[in-house]
Amino acid sequence: MSLFWSVIRQLAEIEAMATSKKVITRDEWEKKLNDVKIRKEDMNKLVMNFLVTEGYVDAAEKFRMESGTEPDIDLATITDRMAVKKAVQSGNVEDAIEKVNDLNPEILDTNPQLFFHLQQQRLIELIRNGKIEEALEFAQEELAPRGEENQSFLEELERTVALLAFEDVKNSPVGDLLDISQRLKTASEVNAAILTSQSHEKDPKLPSLLRMLLWAQNQLDEKAAYPRITDLFTATLEDPAV
């Protein structure tokens, strides 16, 4: 009898331990965090990686001089890459294509999808500027052969040419192509391709570190109450809610 009850009591205790969260105070937490060592050079590299990937060339140059952190690619290529990106964003697609080809002729020669999207953007710009005849000729001569080579290109081409069919293009089902977001999409595709050709990752590492931090906190929330960071901007530790 007594054994039975003691077993039941033990089980209840285990149950309680499983459901109630462990509480970690701010002091304990800060102590733990202080034990984690982070090298200064690693921090600098992360910052440099962010500046390089996002294309802040002047800042990167300054940061290189002040911190002595060497970027993993030639900073001059950032200028070139940003010039390409800017050209697409402002609708000068032909200019962008020439710049990419000067940078590395392999990029567009070995990436048919990117090449098609740039040519498509060129067509969109011609239509936007009301150069209808030129647009038609361009679609016929430059884009139609790509459509013959690839079914999905053909579908995209048909959608783009449909821009010519609507009087009120903005409110048509293909109106999104004229939107500025289409330019940004194309620009970021070119940007990523140039970065890849330079063996550089197309996304900076800092955002993924922060994503990982938020994810880890969410995992930990299920098991413990601790000072968590909710506001990434200030990165302040908030007292655990008990």
Partner 1 sequence: MPGSASTTHRPEGLIERLRSAAADGGEAKLKVLRELKNQIIGNRTKKLSYIKLGAVPSVVSILSSASSSVDCLLIQCAATIGSFACGVDAGVKAVLDAGAFPHLINLLSHSNEKVVDAGARALKMIYQSKAAPKYDFFQHKNIEFLISLLDKNNENVTGLGASIITHSCETNNEQKILADAGVLKKLINLLQGTTSQRDASLESFATIIKQNPEVITKFVGPENSTTFGSLLELTKDRYPRTRLLACICLTLIKNATSSSSSSSSSSSYLQSVGIRTKLILVLLELVDDFGQVGDEALFTLSSFIEHEEDLQKLAFEANTVDKLCHQMQKESLQAKRLEGIFTTLGNLCSNLEPCRSIVLQSPKALIIITDALTHTTTDVRVAACICLKNVSRSVKYLSAGHFMTEAVIMPVIQLLYDASTSVQVAALCTVSNLVVDFRTHKSLFIQSGGVKQLVELSKSMDSTVRLNAVWALRNLMFLVDSRCKEEIFMDLKLFPLTRLISDSNACVQEQALGLVCNLVNGPVDSIMYLFTEGLLLNTVGRELRRASKPQVLVQAMYVMCNVASGKEFEKEAVMQQLVNEDDNNQSIIVTLLQSDVASLRTAVVWTVVNLSIPTGAGALTRVVKLRNAGVVSQLKNMVNDPCLDVKLRVRTALGQSMTFGDFST
Q: Which of 110, 181, 217, 218 binds partner 1 (CB under 8 A)?
A: 110
Q: How many CB atoms lie within 10 A of CB 121?
A: 24
- List CB contacts of 84: < 8 A, sequence separation 6 or more: 96, 99, 100, 103, 190, 191, 194
Please say which residue, 51 or 108, places its beta carbon nearer to partner 1.
Answer: 108
Instruction: Find the largest Cα–Cα distance for the chain.
Output: 97
Query: How far, in Å, CA of 72 to CA of 52, rounded?
Result: 9
Counting contacts by CB under 8 A, is residue 49 touching partner 1?
Answer: no
The least distance separating partner 1 from the CB of residue 13, rounded to whole angstroms, comes to 39
Query: How far, in Å, CA of 43 to CA of 230, rounded?
Result: 21
Counting contacts by CB under 8 A, is residue 111 touching partner 1?
Answer: yes
Q: Which of 112, 181, 208, 218 binds partner 1 (CB under 8 A)?
A: 112
Counting contacts by CB under 8 A, is residue 42 touching partner 1?
Answer: no
Counting contacts by CB under 8 A, is residue 61 touching partner 1?
Answer: no
Q: Please, which residues bridge with residue 228 across strands?
A: 238
Counting contacts by CB under 8 A, is residue 127 touching partner 1?
Answer: no
What is the binding site for partner 1 (CB under 8 A)?
Answer: 97-98, 101, 105-106, 108-112, 115, 131, 133-134, 137-138, 141-142, 145, 149, 151, 196-197, 199, 201
